[in-house]
Chain A
Amino acid sequence: MKNHLEKLRIDHNWTQQELADRAHVSRQTIISLERGRYNPSIMLAFRLARIFEREIEEIFIYDEEEDYE
């Protein structure tokens, strides 16, 4: 799943570790999320949305075709 996490994080001037600390996950998870290699649970998606004060859909882009692949 594509997302705007990296852009949002850079806009906030946070390192991956800082974002990981705020989201209570490991830095490796943030790296995987930013690369689009890992899809977060709904709880983590909400947590990230709260951190950036955005809606989930503004951060994560659902691709129906990718879902059915």
Chain B
Amino acid sequence: MNNSAKWIRKQYRTGWAFLITGGLVAIAGALLPVWISATTFNTRIVTGVGIFLIGVGLSYLIRYRAARREPLTGARMANEANDERSRMLRARAGNRAYWVSTALAYGGLMWVSFAANGSLPHLSEDALWYFLAAVVIIPFGVYAIGLTREEERE
């Protein structure tokens, strides 16, 4: 089996894995309030994660279908995914995003430590939520911008 065929098979397997996992998580989210009457959190969060995973699975299966229908397109998609230059650029952008993520998490940790001994104000629940959201979103943005800039430079 050549690399292109391997990549196409992988899209199929990964797509179904995400789809099944997403379906199970979404169903679990929908049934949680039935199973446990006194849930202390909004179970739609669980359903949302399930729907997101279903979306990821579908995107893999759409790619698989496009690759199977047109072998040349499939080979080019596989080449694009396994391309050494693209991998290098993704690794560089990912490395930068990792350090930003680490710096944000370390900053949060320091804040909580200083807040515990009264040197800094305590974070409210809302502030903590926004901070955690930023810890997720900012590295993603750094990754996307880094990738675009590296693409232009290399």
User: Residues on A close to B: CB < 8 A?
Assistant: 20-21, 24-26, 28-29, 32, 37-38, 40-41, 43-44
Interface size class of B (residues with CB under 8 A): 10 to 19
Binary A-proximity of B75-101 (CB < 8 A = 1, otherwise 0)? 110111011111000000000000000
> 1/0 contact trace for B43-79 toward A, CB 8 Å?
0000000000000000000000000000010011011
> Can you report 8 A-B residue pairs in the complex whose CB atoms are below 8 A from each other?
A21-B79, A25-B83, A26-B83, A26-B85, A26-B86, A28-B83, A28-B151, A32-B154
> Measuring CB to CB, which residues of chain B are less than 8 angstroms from any residue of chain A?
3, 72, 75-76, 78-80, 82-86, 151, 153-154
Contacts of B72 in A (CB 8 A): 21
Contact indicator B79/A25 (Cβ below 8 Å): yes
Question: Given A21-B79, A24-B79, A38-B154, list of 5 further CB < 8 A pairs?
Answer: A26-B85, A28-B83, A28-B85, A28-B151, A38-B85
In the complex, chain A residues whose CB is within 8 Å of the CB of B151 = 28
User: Lowest 8 A-B CB distances belong to which pairs?
Assistant: A29-B85, A26-B83, A26-B80, A25-B83, A24-B79, A38-B154, A41-B84, A38-B85
With A24-B3, A37-B154 in contact, do A44 and B84 touch (Cβ < 8 Å)? Answer: yes
Note all chain A residues with C-beta closer than 8 A to B79: 20-21, 24-26
Q: How far is the CA of A38 from the CA of B153 in the complex (A)?
A: 10
**Residue on A nearest B85 in the bound complex, by CB:** A29
